[in-house]
Structure 1
């Protein structure tokens, strides 16, 4: 299931996308299959071990890293990741 962009080409619009608002990484562990796409895109935030277990290295996302983490969230083939505001 892919997320569709809004009329301005943004994905995941709304309160969680407002510039300056604190963002958190959320994982649906029942969906995660350990593909490690997130780790490939943002290794400073995600790590997947040999058994496919995902570790989120930092749940809060600083403003300068939001774009990279957002790209990692979108890269998940099973949509197990999301960004949310606190």
Structure 2
């Protein structure tokens, strides 16, 4: 897959409060730990998951998720 088409995701673990709304909106993108916190490392997704990635980031009340399209 072409690297430029990937969407990069970063989660600020200091800001994440465990609301789990990101995972509810984007279950194939955002993985939570047993306590409900998003502990995923910096990652990227292809075009097939971009809409889900945006939905999860938009659902976060703490704005702990940033998305970057290179």
> TM above 0.5, one fold?
yes
Question: Where do 5+ consecutive residues of structure 1 fail to align?
Answer: 1-19
TM-score, normalised relative to structure 1: 0.65
- Give the root-mean-square deviation of aligned CA atoms: 2.1
Report whether the alignment pairs 1:68 with 2:52: yes
CA contact (8 A) 2:29 2:52 kept: no
1:57–1:27 CA distance, 2 compared to 1 (3 A): closer
Q: Deviations over 1:27-77 (max 9, x none)?
A: 111100011101111111112223233133881111121111101100001
1:27–1:57 CA distance, 2 compared to 1 (3 A): closer
Whole-angstrom distance in 2 between the partners of 1:46 and 1:61: 11
**By percentage of residues, which structure has more helix?**
2
Number of residue pairs the alignment of both structures matches: 67
Q: Computing the radius of gyration over CA atoms, which structure comes out larger, 1 or 2?
A: 1
Larger RCO, structures 1/2 (Cα 8 Å, 6+ apart): 2
Stretch deviating more after TM superposition (23-32 or 49-58):
49-58
